[in-house]
Chain A
Amino acid sequence: MSADVPGVDSNVTAGRRPILSVSDLCVTFTTSAGPARAVRGVTFDVYPGESVAIVGESGSGKSVTMMALLGMVANADISGSATYRGSELIGMEVSRLRHIRGSKVAMIFQDPMTSLNPVLTIGRQMSLVMQAHQPDLSKKAARTRAIELLDQVAISQAARRCDSYPHELSGGMRQRVMIAMAISNNPEVLIADEPTTALDVTVQAQIMELLGDLRRDHHLAMVLITHDLGVVAGAADRVAVMYAGRIVEQGAVGPLFADPGHPYTRGLLDCLPRLDERHEIRASIAGVPASPMSLPPGCPFAPRCSYVESRCSESEPFLERHHETLSACFVLAGDGLAAAAVDG
């Protein structure tokens, strides 16, 4: 799937090849209790400069997908393909993969409290990341660049902060440091794994704003992993919704929010607080997320789905066109008529 993906802005992608291309990626953990199928055939592309959000509950496989393509998943069988500018990442030796990690494809993580080494200064940790990919970089030059980067992510007194230890910084500042570190080698793709989840609400907005600015300034492609559709709206061009190791719906942000073609996406949207509603209680999707250890036959969402029909538990639906998105649902997608009927 590439050209006919709904929602891929032809202005952005015209005549260009995806920078990151994942196809039919499967990750199965071997545990003592049996195989855990964390990712089951995920396919998507990321084009230069584009921002793609991967949304899903924890355990849906969204982080594992991204970790797997950077070769950071241990004790697992990985199949399928993931290419960066045409070179296959799955199965690549770590020694080669290392030159892509942090250099071409950088990643920032959820918890800035634990993502930094407590016994090394900020500057030292940033220098290590730079020197990993630019061995000729002198200590002094690395430090100068680190200060510059800290300045760029709007950390005041950057020169002084350079010699600080992580525990001397607030959570938001640490995440800024992480971001500075991630962009220090001018990557082309930035993977942001729940970058704001561990932060205060006010700080969350600042960090998202910073990421947006950097993306524009550096022409970065971004993959935003989040469980919160609310974060997605302003930050992503396209959205892929994951459930039980699969993409169950994808499309451009606008259509997907306006007219979701999968009950799970609808459920996620219902969970969002709305400005036009006064009551405080938010809806949540009933039931528990499907376990990768024991998936039900048929559609894994069926046990929690309010649109469920008998065919849902017979076979698993694949992505099909639903208006302007692709959706893996027998009931809402495919013929499209049922969806309209239920919607009404």
Chain B
Amino acid sequence: MKRYLAIRVAVMPLLLFGIASIVFVVSRLTPADPLVSIVGERNLTNPQIVAAARARWGLNDSVPVQYAKYMKNLVKGDLGTSFTTRRPVLHDLLDRLPATLELTFVALLIGVVFGVGLGVLAARNRNRLIDHVARFVALIGSSLPAFWAGLLVLYIFYARLGWLPGPGRIDPRSVAPGHITGFYTVDSLLHGDWSMFVQSVKHLILPASVLGWGVVGIVTRLVRASLLDEFSMEYVRVARAMGLRERTVVNTHALRNALLPTITIVGFLFAFLLTGAVLTETVFSWPGVGSYAVEASRKLDYPAIIGVTILGGFAFLITNLITDIAYAVADPRIRLS
């Protein structure tokens, strides 16, 4: 087990190298001239400005040299400078990462809690109406375009009903809590600012629900299937024969086992949410990495796009590794082998 994990950690740099290489290749696919976005269409005819820009961004070198430079910078943690913000991409990303992580974690929580709940409900009422309804609700989540669902809930709960605040992490006139973790909910609590905490939670509800609903379907299907598997296991029958409450049989006995496969897909879920965050953030004007990626793509800000994509791949690798470890810890048969 330890050896396996050690190998997994050891190949991480290799995979990361692969990811960076693919992103580099992708970024050089372009027939479009990134200069457009640096100097603007009007200045393209001005050779002096163009030459200065090319030199500054290293666009004069041959592709292999560019690749070598890029890899060298990458190792140093230098993702280049954004064309649009004129700041190091890494700084931009680090500034925006907490917003995305906060949103994604809450969405993951919502998705897993509701997914497990619906899955248990569906499994316990197999082939009855509740089962069909639970699965349908879950499936809608996987079929909804998140950006559209975002507009929909904003229209209903913000514009029409006024129950929840509009886009953004906090109200436009509020000031963000002092930076500690970058998670507004956590920071406001650390500062003892209760009203700010309530505000940031309210702002999280809509985007996190829209985002989280997207994975409810995946979790529900998996939990339902594995619970049904567990229900047919001998130990469940034994637990019932021993007079355990049905709740204990389901929650303590069967669910423990049924959740193991769910743990294996947490990494996948996280990726799914990251995917969704790109669009959800855009709809909710959420100042995270997702909306940064969208702005960068719209403006053809290559260093920024590359930075985000590398970050995305990196996040994938990390979550997969965490998933493996979590699975091993959760299952005594693996943990103790």
Contact = CB atoms under 8 A, between A and B. Distances in A.
Contact of A98 (B245, B256, B333): B245
A100 interface: yes
B248 interface: yes
Nearest to A111: B234
B111 to A, nearest CB: 23
B234 A109 contact: yes
B309 interface: no
A165 B234 contact: no
A206 B14 CA distance: 56
A103 B243 contact: yes
A129 B331 contact: no
B241 A107 contact: yes
The 4 A-B pairs with the shortest beta carbon distances in the complex, nearest first, are A102-B243, A102-B242, A101-B243, A114-B234
Contacts of B242: 101-102, 106-107, 129, 132, 181-182
Interface string B232-262: 0111011111111110100011001100100
Interface string B296-337: 000000000000000000000000000000000011110010
A132 B248 contact: yes
A101 B241 contact: yes
A288 interface: no
Interface of B: 233-235, 237-246, 248, 252-253, 256-257, 260, 330-333, 336
B332 A119 contact: yes
Contacts of A311: none
Interface of A: 70, 72, 94, 98-103, 106-107, 109, 111, 114-120, 128-129, 132-133, 165, 167-168, 178, 181-182, 185
12 contacts: A72-B240, A98-B244, A98-B245, A102-B241, A114-B234, A115-B235, A119-B332, A128-B239, A129-B244, A132-B242, A178-B238, A181-B242
Contact of B256 (A102, A109, A120, A129): A120
B152 to A, nearest CB: 41
A117 B243 contact: no
A117 B241 contact: no
Given A99-B243, A115-B238, A128 B248 contact: yes
A100 B257 CA distance: 27
Nearest to A70: B241
Contacts of A133: 243
Contacts of A111: 234
A132 B333 CA distance: 26
A94 B245 CA distance: 9
A132 B256 contact: no
B332 to A, nearest CB: 4
B243 A168 contact: no
B261 to A, nearest CB: 12
A101 B243 CA distance: 5
Given A100-B243, A118-B333, A119-B332, A109 B248 contact: no
Given A101-B243, A118-B332, A128 B256 contact: no
Given A72-B240, A117-B235, A119-B256, 10 more contacts: A94-B246, A100-B243, A109-B241, A117-B257, A120-B252, A128-B244, A128-B248, A133-B243, A178-B238, A182-B242
Contacts of A168: 336
A109 B244 contact: no
Nearest to A129: B242
B233 A114 contact: yes
Contacts of A132: 242-245, 248
A165 B248 contact: no
A165 B257 CA distance: 14
A21 to B, nearest CB: 20
A111 B234 CA distance: 8
Contacts of A116: 235, 238
Contacts of B246: 94
Contact of B333 (A99, A107, A165): A165
Given A111-B234, A115-B238, A117-B253, A165 B332 contact: yes
B77 to A, nearest CB: 41
A115 B248 contact: no
A103 B252 CA distance: 19
A119 B257 contact: yes
Contacts of B241: 70, 72, 101-102, 106-107, 109
A115 B244 contact: no
B231 to A, nearest CB: 10
Contacts of B239: 117, 128-129
A9 B241 CA distance: 30
A192 to B, nearest CB: 12
A102 B248 CA distance: 14
Contacts of A117: 235, 239, 253, 256-257
A165 B243 CA distance: 21
Contacts of B244: 98, 102, 128-129, 132
A106 B239 CA distance: 11
Contacts of B248: 128, 132
Given A101-B243, A129-B242, A132-B244, A167 B235 contact: no
